[in-house]
Amino acid sequence: MDERGSDKKSRSELLAKLRKERSAEAARARRNKENGEYDNIKKLLPIDETIAKNLDKASVIRITISFLRMCKFAESGSKHWDIPIDQGKASLQYPDESLSKKVAMSCLKALDGFLMVLAPDAKILYVSETINDQLGLNWEELPGSSVHDIVPNQEDKTDLKSLLRSLNNKDMTSSEEHVNLILRFKSQREKRQASGQKSKNTSTKACQVIGILRFSEDTEEARGLICCVIPLMSINNREICLPSNSFFILTDLKFVVNKIDSR
C-alpha cells in the first residue's frame, strides 16, 4: 500500500511538473508572438528607427492610436487639405521616396519652432521631432498624451481649453479661423555645473502659437488646431545652445582667456 501511494504521489508530481512546463512554453510562445506583432507595428510607424527601437509596449500603442487619429483628421477635412502631391501647379515630384522624406525632415529642422496638431479633447495628434531641439522634451512621450501635460501654467491651460472648446461651436461662419497667442510650455535643458556634471533643469518657456482652427459640421474627427509653436528668446536669457562640434571661450576686454570649455 505504501509503494502504491508513493507511485501515485510521484505520478501526480510528474504530471504537475509537465503541466507547469507546458504552461511556461505556451506563455513563452505567446510572448514571442506578441513581441513580434509589436515589432511589426514599430516598422509601420512613420518615425525614426532609432526612436522606434527604444519604445515600450504602452508607448507603441499610444503612438499608433495617435497616428490613426491623425490619418482620420487628414482624410476628413476639406478637399484642399487632401490634395495629392502630383496635382496642382506647385506640385513637387521626387524620383525616390527616401529623398522626399529627407526634404520634409529638412523643412521641419529649418523651422524656428515645431509643428503640432491638437484634437478638441486636447490630445496631441502630431508633434514634430524638433520639439526635442526647441524645448528638450522627449518626443516619444508626447503623441497621444494631453497637451496640458506640457503647459503647466493654469491661466494658459484655461485659455487653451476655451480655444479648443470653440471647435464644437456649431454657429461658426467659416471652416477655418486663424490663431495667434502666447503660451508657456514646459522646457527641460541640460545644464553644465561647475564640477563638469550635467543636470536637467526644468522651467517654462514662452512660445508663440500661430495656426489655424479647423471646423467641420460632418464629423468631430476633422476638427482640430494645426499650429507652429515658436519659442521666444527671453531678454534675461544668457544661455545659448551650442552645436556638439563647437566650444566656448571666455575672455576679458584685453582678450586674455579666463575660461575655456573642456571640449
In a domain, 42, yes or no: no
In a domain, 66, yes or no: yes
Split into its structural domains, the chain has a count of: 1
In a domain, 34, yes or no: no
Quickly count: other Cβ atoms within 10 Å of residue 184's Cβ. Answer: 18
Separation between Cα atoms, residue 13 and residue 256, nearest integer Å: 83
CA 186 to chain centre: 14
Q: What is the pLDDT of residues 220-263, one digit of tens each?
A: 777 889 999 999 876 555 556 667 788 888 888 888 888 888 77
In a domain, 16, yes or no: no
CA dihedral 14→19→24→26, nearest 10 degrees, is 140
| Confidence at residue 160, expressed as pLDDT on a 0 to 100 scale | 92
| Confidence at residue 228, expressed as pLDDT on a 0 to 100 scale | 92
Q: What is the pLDDT of residues 20-62, one digit of tens each?
A: 888 888 888 888 888 888 888 888 887 877 888 888 888 889 9
| Confidence at residue 87, expressed as pLDDT on a 0 to 100 scale | 43
Q: Determine contact, residues 146/98, Cβ cutoff 8 Å.
A: no
In a domain, 41, yes or no: no
Q: What is the pLDDT of residues 52-109, one digit of tens each?
A: 888 888 888 999 999 888 888 887 765 544 444 444 444 445 455 565 566 666 776 7
pLDDT band at 152 (very low <50, low <70, confident <90, very high): very high
Query: Among 5-9, 27-31, 217-221, whose mean pLDDT is lowest?
Result: 5-9
In a domain, 107, yes or no: yes
Separation between Cα atoms, residue 97 and residue 86, nearest integer Å: 13
13 vs 68, higher pLDDT: 68
Provide, rounded to the nearest whole percent, the portion of the chain with pLDDT above 70.
Answer: 75
136-160 mean pLDDT: 92
pLDDT band at 168 (very low <50, low <70, confident <90, very high): confident
In a domain, 70, yes or no: yes
- CATH assignment at residue 179: 3.30.450.20
- The whole domain housing 177 covers 49-251
pLDDT band at 200 (very low <50, low <70, confident <90, very high): confident
| Confidence at residue 183, expressed as pLDDT on a 0 to 100 scale | 93
Give all strands (DSSP E) within the chain, no chain letters. 114-118, 124-127, 176-192, 198-214, 224-231, 249-251, 257-260
Q: What is the pLDDT of residues 108-138, one digit of tens each?
A: 677 788 999 999 999 999 998 889 888 989 8
In a domain, 226, yes or no: yes
In our burial notation (b when 16+ CB lie closer than 10 A, e otherwise), range 9-40 reads eeeeeeeeeeeeeeeeeeeeeeeeeeeeeeee
